[in-house]
Amino acid sequence: MNDSLPPCPECSSEYTYEMGALLVCPECAHEWSASAETDAEADAPAAAVIKDAVGNVLADGDTVTVVKDLKIKGSSTVIKVGTKVRGIRLVNGVGDHDIDCKVDGVGPMQLKSSVVKKI
Ligand SMILES: [Zn+2]
C-alpha cells in the first residue's frame, strides 16, 4: 500500500488507490478527487488587504471618515472632509475604487481607500 495516499473520507479505509486523477476506496467504492481538498484552500481567493489613508486594514462594515474633500463627478456635491461613512463594503471597484458605501445625504458610491480613515 502507498502510505502517502489519504484514507477514504467516507469509511477511513487505508486501502485507497489512485485511478487517474481520482482516489478510489476499494471498501466502500467511494471515489474522490485527490487534489480537490488540498486545492480548496490553495484556490481560496487571497483576501486582498485594503488599507486606509494611514495604513489601518479595512474590513466590511467598518465606519470611516473622509480625509479630504471629494468632488463628485458631474455634480456640485462635495463630500466634506470628516464625513462619516458607515458600513463600508470592500469591493473591486472601478479604477482604484475599492470601497462601496452609502454616504448620508449623497447616496451610494464608490470611494478609494486612500481617502478614508477608519474610526
Ligand atoms: Zn471507503
Who surrounds ion ligand 1 at CB < 5 A?
Answer: 8, 10-11, 13, 25, 27-28, 30
Q: What pLDDT, on the 0 to 100 scale, is given for residue 21?
A: 84
Q: What pLDDT, on the 0 to 100 scale, is given for residue 45?
A: 53
Strand ranges for 14-81 from DSSP E? 17-19, 22-24, 31-33, 64-66, 70-71, 78-79
Separation of alpha carbons 86 and 108, rounded Å: 11
Q: What pLDDT, on the 0 to 100 scale, is given for residue 3?
A: 57
Q: What pLDDT, on the 0 to 100 scale, is given for residue 92?
A: 86
User: What is the whole-number distance in angstroms between the Cα of residue 42 and the centre of ligand 1?
Assistant: 25
Q: What pLDDT, on the 0 to 100 scale, is given for residue 70?
A: 93
Cell of 18: 489512485
User: What is the whole-number distance in angstroms between the Cα of residue 36 and the centre of ligand 1?
Assistant: 17
Mean pLDDT in consecutive groups of 10 residues from the start of the chain, 119 residues: 77 93 93 65 60 96 96 88 96 88 92 95
**66 phi/psi in degrees, rounded to 5:** -80, 135
